[in-house]
């Protein structure tokens, strides 16, 4: 019986529809925010690449709404995530959330809070993103 080594990087690319992407998590520290529209996490998409959102993590000690934002073909795109109470939400998938509208090169993918916070609750956010050469 022969055993063939499996290249996990190749397998991961095949699972993502043959797209050659490198996945990264952005990590943030716990923070207490005092203003609406504060950037909690951001991922930079370098020149010559497109950015795909494969997942996110948001945790907060109070109810709030969050936007995941990016720029596609010069126009801002947004996904609204609502947390009706304190808690945590995490989403990860093989298919990117912005499959049809990837982030433009030399821009950022961000997570921001929408509502005014109390100023005493902890917030944390992360983005799982992939970068593909154009």
Each residue's pLDDT, cut to its tens digit, for the chain (134 residues) gives 555 566 666 556 555 556 778 889 998 888 999 899 999 999 999 999 999 999 999 999 999 999 999 999 999 999 999 999 999 999 998 889 999 999 999 999 999 999 999 888 999 999 999 998 77
Report pTM. Answer: 0.85
Domain layout of the chain by residue ranges? 8-133
CATH top class, domain 8-133 = mainly beta
Element (H, E) at 78: strand 75-83
CB 28 within 8 A of CB 126: yes
φ and ψ at 29, to 5 degrees?
Answer: -90, 160
């Amino acid at each position: 019986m022969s055993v063939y080594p499996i290249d996990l990087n190749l397998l991961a690319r095949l699972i993502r529809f043959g797209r050659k992407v490198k996945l990264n998590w952005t990590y943030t520290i716990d923070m207490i925010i005092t203003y609406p529209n504060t950037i909690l996490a951001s991922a930079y998409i370098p020149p010559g690449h497109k950015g795909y959102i494969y997942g996110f993590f948001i945790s907060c000690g109070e109810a709030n709404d969050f936007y995941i934002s990016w720029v596609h073909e010069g126009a801002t795109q947004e996904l609204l995530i609502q947390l009706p109470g304190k808690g945590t939400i995490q989403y990860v998938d093989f298919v990117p959330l912005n499959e049809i509208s990837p982030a433009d090169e030399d821009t950022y993918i961000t997570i921001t809070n929408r509502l005014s916070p109390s100023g005493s609750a902890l917030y944390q956010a992360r983005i799982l993103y992939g970068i593909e050469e154009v």
